[in-house]
Amino acid sequence: MVDSARGAFPLRFKDGRLRELVREVAALEEVSQTDLIEEAVAHELIFRSARLADDLAAAASRLNRLTESQRAELIDRSLDEFAQGEALPEPLQAKAVHAHVDGHDPTMLDPLGVLAAFDAARG
């Protein structure tokens, strides 16, 4: 990611007094203005990056706690609703269907042959 060729990066200060301060400090420390500004930018970026990383980690931790709490509540609610539903009577009551009823043609009671198919599978 680091470009080995050093390119120019024009820097324009909004506040002229800051530019003068850079000149003075660089002269007193006997370093180039570029080196002084690069070091200051590096320090600021390292500080801000660390702060952002901490903020993001804290936000992720909060989201994780909230998500786990909501997930647990959702599971509990789902289990409660399932239990309540199981306590209700069945909406459809099953009844036995016999293929041979006195006086009726078995094919009329089972025109599609479903009962015969099940009987054939049993025997």
Question: So what's the pLDDT on residue 115?
Answer: 78
Q: Which of 2-11, 46-55, 95-104 has the highest mean pLDDT?
A: 46-55
* CA separation, residue 89 to residues 5, 85, 92, 93 (Å): 79, 8, 9, 9
**pLDDT digits 0-9 by tens, 59-80:** 999 999 999 989 999 999 999 9
Mean pLDDT of the chain: 85
CB 36 within 8 A of CB 29: yes
Q: What is the pTM of this model?
A: 0.47
